[in-house]
Amino acid sequence: MKARFVILVLLSLFLLPGCTGKGSSEGKIRIAEQYGLAYAPLQILREKGFLEEAAEGIEVEWVRLGNTAAIREAVLAGDLDIGFMGIPPFLIARDKGMEWKIATGLSRCPLGLAVPSGAYRSLSDIPADARIALPQPGSIQHILLSMALDRETGNPSHLDNNLIAMKHPDGMNALLSGAVTGHFTSPPYLFLEEEEGYDVLVSGEEAMGEPFTFIAGVATERFHSNEPDLYKVFLSALEKAILFIEENREETVNILSGIYDMDKKTVEDYLYNRGMVFEQDVRGLENFISFMEKTGYLKQIGERESVLF
């Protein structure tokens, strides 16, 4: 009886992957985003209908997912064409053989490790029993912190035993309540923590040693080859959205303050005065690849051309 039951369970487990959506239908584009200021051009693109304007009859489906792993799984299930995420999680998936490449950059953004004001002078001051929150292992925040540690202590995993995986809002609450002594995060959480009087011990750019793309747009190879026109339309619509943010401050702030439920002054300040840059160039890719190869996150990634359309 038991054996038969186990077999049933195993069988259902194996047959589940069969229930996947079949490839993209013609004239349809399915885009995944995550939540945050760094995705602002996508909100504009969506609200202003730039895609629908550029290609008549196009069907656009937007999906908001909580993390990169969910985006990857949706892509594998055949439910997405384009997803937006940090470069390291994309590279990890590419390394494992996922057939997708970077199509465009989206944003550069100040990242950093926020700590209580005056608590530490450098990373090596952080005591062995300290706790630091960041989104998840292999995230851009984790890789940047490893880079900074590598530079300062020579050991990229120096603080790994102190790292606790938490979502951004949980990490901020933990920092404010004193449950953790550091939070490696991105805007708006980093800005909010700075306003609460926390210091940025290491910034993303210091860790990386150069400006880098925070969020990039990744397209499946299937979409790229099956829908070359749509692919181009998407890129030019995104360019238009980025230009729109530059040229129409007031309307941008109006749209985004509604979406993020933040007051207009704050949105304007965060968007234009704090070092957020929206651009399609992809920066820092080589640096990410070589560091992640060195530290064993990537095994067979190959050259820059193999990860970029």
Partner 1 sequence: MKKGLLPGLAVLLLWQILFMSGFFSPLVFPSPLAVAESLYGDLKTGELVLSILFSLAIILGSFLPSLILAFFLAWLAFRYRSFDPWIEKLSALVHPLPGIALLPLLILWTGLGTHIIVLIVIHSVLWPFYINIRSGFRQVPGVWLDVADNNRLSEGERFLSLLVPASFPQIFAGLKIGWSRAWRAVISAEMIFGTIGSGGGLGWFIYNKRIFMDTPGMYGGVIILMLIGLAVENLLFRSVERRIAYVYSQS
Residues engaged in binding partner 1 (CB under 8 A): 2-4, 6-7, 9-11, 13-14, 17-18, 20, 69, 72, 76-77, 89, 92-93, 96-98, 131, 136-138, 142, 157, 159-166, 170, 173-174, 177, 179-180, 297
Least separation in angstroms between residue 48's CB and partner 1 is 34
Nearer CB in complex with partner 1: 25/161: 161
Least separation in angstroms between residue 108's CB and partner 1 is 24
Helix (H) or strand (E) holding 201: strand 199-203
b/e code 52-88 from CB counts within 10 Å (16+ = b):
eeebeebebeeeebeebeebbebbbeebbbbbbbbbb
Helix (H) or strand (E) holding 190: helix 189-195
Nearer CB in complex with partner 1: 136/266: 136
Least separation in angstroms between residue 271's CB and partner 1 is 29
Residues 191 and 274: beta-carbon distance below 8 Å? yes
Residues 60 and 50: beta-carbon distance below 8 Å? no
**Which amino acid, one-letter code, is at 287?**
N
Nearer CB in complex with partner 1: 24/252: 24
Q: How far is the C-alpha of 161 from the C-alpha of 1, rounded, in Å?
A: 45
Least separation in angstroms between residue 249's CB and partner 1 is 37
Token couple for 55: 């290609």
Least separation in angstroms between residue 258's CB and partner 1 is 27
Q: Of 90, 93, 85, nearest to 36 (Cα)?
A: 85
Least separation in angstroms between residue 152's CB and partner 1 is 17
Token couple for 270: 């965060």
Nearer CB in complex with partner 1: 40/132: 132
Nearer CB in complex with partner 1: 14/121: 14
Nearer CB in complex with partner 1: 216/255: 216
Nearer CB in complex with partner 1: 41/182: 182
What does the H/E/C string look like for 84-151?
A: EECHHHHHHHHHCCCCEEEEEEEEECCCEEEECCCCCCCHHHCCCCCCEEECCCCCHHHHHHHHHHHH
- Could you give the strand order of the β-sheet that contains 215-220, starting from the edge strand earlier in sequence? 59-64, 28-33, 82-85, 215-220, 100-108, 277-278
Q: Of 114, 268, 112, 266, nearest to 196 (Cα)?
A: 114
φ, ψ for residue 114, nearest 5 deg: -90, 130
Nearer CB in complex with partner 1: 32/271: 32
Least separation in angstroms between residue 42's CB and partner 1 is 24
Least separation in angstroms between residue 20's CB and partner 1 is 8
